[in-house]
Amino acid sequence: MSKIKTRLLGKAESLAGPVRAAISALEPQLIADVSKVGFGDPNVIPLWYGESDLPTPEFIRRAAKEALDQGETFYTYTRGTPPLRAAIAEYLTGLHERPVAMERVSLTTAGMNAIMLMMELTLERGDNAVTVTPLWPNAAAAARIMGAEPREVPLGREQGRWRLDLDRLFAACDSRTRLVFVNSPGNPTGWMMTREEQRAVLDFCRERNIWLLADEVYSRIVYHGRAAPSFLDIAEPDDPLFVANSFSKAWAMTGWRMGWVVAPAALGDTIAELVQHNVSGVATFLQPAAVTALKEGEPFVKEFVERCRRGRDIVADQLAAMPRVRFTPPEAAFYAFFEVEGVDDSLAFAKRLVREAGVGLAPGAAFGKGGEGGYLRLCFAQAPELLARAMERLKRVIV
């Protein structure tokens, strides 16, 4: 047991009442563990979190300010205001091959809240949720919080590319499987499902009466085409499908904590109850700004993707010059997930990079079994000059 976890458990045991076993068993967030080594140090270049260095565009911020000035500070619709839900539905309908009705859309406090709510909706103690890894750690933690088992299916690598073994995914499902969780485009790998893979997984979930939760937060951060393949392109409105998304990435709105979920319309009232019991809803004055992002934000999204493309190229060129590094530029998202030969403890190595290179990266171990070994994640949604400086520093240690 780690020293961090022992310390946390010791504090919990000193309280008057017991803490649920599922909560006590949660592992510390390893990315945060690395960030503690250099957080707040102006000499450290922080590339550990999934966040751009760009502030939210001014036209979006202005819409929130105007809503505040107009006194939009009261309680509002639990699932989101009608104008915002309609704007999300219109946006998705224009982006995908099939229409998305407003009745299927619920606003959430960030994409993570959407994921948590859908796990509350579907998982009970003793169930399992099959997840494709490497995977952002919070998703598996949400399943554990519900008392369910997150069952990992690691991606494989073929000819330098990440690949999903569908037979292995399906074999991991059994009579206790209530949910299959897929993040595509993927964090940390940038892997994307093909349309054929999506059809196969959706058909499997239909036949087995298993819920499919698709995290499509990075759907717009793609380097070929306008958007990644989506389950919304192929699914029927009443399929056992949830699609979670967020304003955080494509519109540089990480601190706003706003997301949404698309679900069968028949679950609308149930989702409203869950939102009410968890957070009561999203801040009223933020919602007009989200409408503005959807209706006026396309030029920014395009510029942001091109900026990420430049960042990807800078990082890829520098990593290619490091003999110990194995890396293939991602198809989507804004992460370089690379392996360093000779490293078997990514957490310790990430901390070493903070101390010796002044660069903060996320350890591969944070992303489940598929990320164990010498993997590290670098967020390249940053200014080109910052990335160039970071790569020069990394070369001094990764030689």
Q: Are residues 221 and 365 in the same domain?
A: no
Domain boundary among 296, 328, 354: 296
> Do 291 and 303 fall within a single domain?
no
| Residues 50 and 7 placed together within one structural domain of the fold | yes
Q: Are residues 114 and 26 in the same domain?
A: no
pLDDT digits (tens, 9 = 90+) for 233-292: 999 999 999 999 999 999 999 999 999 999 999 999 999 999 999 999 999 999 999 999
Is 271 in the same domain as 152? yes
Structure confidence at residue 10 as a pLDDT band (50, 70, 90): low
Specify the pTM. 0.94
Q: Which of 234, 266, 296 is the last residue of a domain?
A: 296
Reported as a single tens digit per residue, the pLDDT across 346-362 is: 999 999 999 999 999 99
Per-residue confidence at 369, pLDDT binned at 50, 70, 90? Answer: confident
Residue 278 shares a structural domain with residue 313: no
DSSP collapsed to 3 states, the chain: CCHHHHHHHHHHHCCCCCCCHHHHCCCCCHHHHHHHHHCCCCCCEECCCCCCCCCCCHHHHHHHHHHHHCCCCCCCCCCCCHHHHHHHHHHHHHHCCCCCCHHHEEEECHHHHHHHHHHHHHCCCCCEEEEEECCCHHHHHHHHHCCCEEEEEECEEECCEEECCHHHHHHCCCCCEEEEEEECCCCCCCCCCCHHHHHHHHHHHHHHCCEEEEECCCCCCECCCCCCCCHHHCCCCCCCEEEEEECCCCCCCHHHCCEEEECCHHHHHHHHHHHHHHCCCCCHHHHHHHHHHHHHCHHHHHHHHHHHHHHHHHHHHHHHCCCCEECCCCCECCEEEEEECCCCCHHHHHHHHHHHHCEECEEHHHHCHHHCCCEEEEECCCCHHHHHHHHHHHHHHCC
Structural domains of the chain, count:
2
